[in-house]
Amino acid sequence: MSRAAFRLITPDGEEIVLAEQAQFARDSNRTRPLLQNARTTRHAVAPYIRRRNFTEPLRFFTVPFGPVVQDEFVVDKDRVVHGDLFFTAPTGLWEDGTYSLIVEQNGVRAAVPIILE
């Protein structure tokens, strides 16, 4: 799957693609505290994955001097990838409403609602 397979649809229908790695790295002073704060409230997904020995980290993004960034990855019945996705708010602030995380590749589409209040 490639980066282009992921997008976010805002409540007013605007489509937002994943942030670029260069932009993520430039904003690391803002994103690093966000990631540190999220660690205390994250819910692990690994227990829900049957074949945990085949999970790999999603590396669309990395902090400066971190691991190598990948622009695509493989998923199949034996391989699962998990990690963070980052989008840039068009106005600099995420407004309340229902967003849709879209994952689409090879004619298959999944939409996950995300409600911000």
pTM: 0.81
pLDDT in tens, 1-59: 899 999 999 999 999 999 988 888 888 888 888 878 877 777 776 667 666 567 777 88
Return left, alpha or beta for 98; rule: phi > 0 is left, psi -120 to 50 is alpha, else beta: beta
SS3 content of the chain, % helix, strand, coil (to 5): 20, 30, 50
CA distances (Å), origin 5, targets 52, 75, 76: 24, 13, 15
pLDDT in tens, 50-86: 665 677 778 888 877 777 888 888 877 777 788 889 9
Which residues pair with residue 9 across a beta bridge? 15, 100
Domain boundaries, the chain: 3-116
**Residue in the structure block whose two tokens are 């803002």:** 30
